[in-house]
Amino acid sequence: MNQKYHPLYNTWATMKRRCDNPNHISYKNYGGRGIKVCSRWLGTDGFTNFLTDMGERPDGHTIDRIDNDKDYSPKNCKWSSRKEQLFNRRMRSDNTSGVEGVRWVKRDKYWLARIKVDGKEHYLGGFPTKEQAIEARKQALLKLTLVLHKEGLL
C-alpha cells in the first residue's frame, strides 16, 4: 500500500508542514515558536517510524503534544480527544494573570474568569482579586472534569 493513502499520512504530513513551512497558516504557532518534529519522524522512514511509535489513531482523536512548548516526538505525543485537548492549551501571549482564562479588565477594574468548552466561551464572572478569579476558574474546571468523567468522555 502506498503510504500516501494511509489514513494517518495526512496527519503526519500536516504536522511536519506546521513546523517547517513558513507559508503554512499555523506556522507561527509551531515552527515560528521553535517547535520541531523529531529526526526519527523525518526522512525516508519518517512516516513508518511515526506509525510504529504512535500506533493507530482512536476514533475522534488527534495528535497532541503533552508539553506544548516541546517538539513532536514519541515521548511528547499522544492521541487525545477534543475534550482532553481542552485542558492542554498554552497560555495566550497577552495573558496578564499568568493563569489561562483569567485576565484583568482595565476599564472596569476587575479580574475576569472564563472557560471555553466546545468552542463556546462561558464567563464565570468578575472578581475584585486575581485569587478569587483563579479559584472560580479552578472550580469550573473541576466541575467540568467530573461531568466529562461521569459521561465517559475523559
Please give the Cα distance from 53 to 37 (Å, whole number): 13
CA distance 29 to 119: 19
pLDDT at site 149? 66
Residue 148 pLDDT grade (very low, low, confident, very high; cuts 50, 70, 90): low
73 and 35 in a common domain: yes
Q: Is residue 94 part of a domain?
A: no
Stated pTM of the model: 0.61
**Average pLDDT over every residue of 71-78:** 95
Residue 52 sits in the same domain as residue 11: yes
Grid cell 523529531 in the structure block, residue: 38
Q: Which amino acid is at 149?
A: H
Q: Are 142 and 75 contained in the same domain? A: no
What value does the mean pLDDT of the chain take? Answer: 86
- What residues make up the domain containing 114? 102-150
> 70 and 106: one domain?
no
88 occurs within a structural domain:
no
Q: Which pLDDT value is given to residue 153?
A: 58
Judge whether 91 and 120 are in contact, CB under 8 Å. no
Within the chain, strands assigned E span 61-65, 77-81, 102-105, 110-117, 120-127
> Taking 60 as the threshold, does the pLDDT of residue 24 lie above it?
yes
Give the integer Cα–Cα distance in Å for 16 and 26.
11
Instruction: Output the pLDDT for position 154.
Output: 52
Number of structural domains in the chain: 2
Instruction: Single out the residue of 122, 120, 118 nearest to residue 140, CA to CA.
Output: 122
52: in domain: yes
Task: Tell whether 8 and 76 lie within a shared domain.
Answer: yes
Of 4-18, 23-37, 56-70, 83-97, minimum mean pLDDT range = 83-97
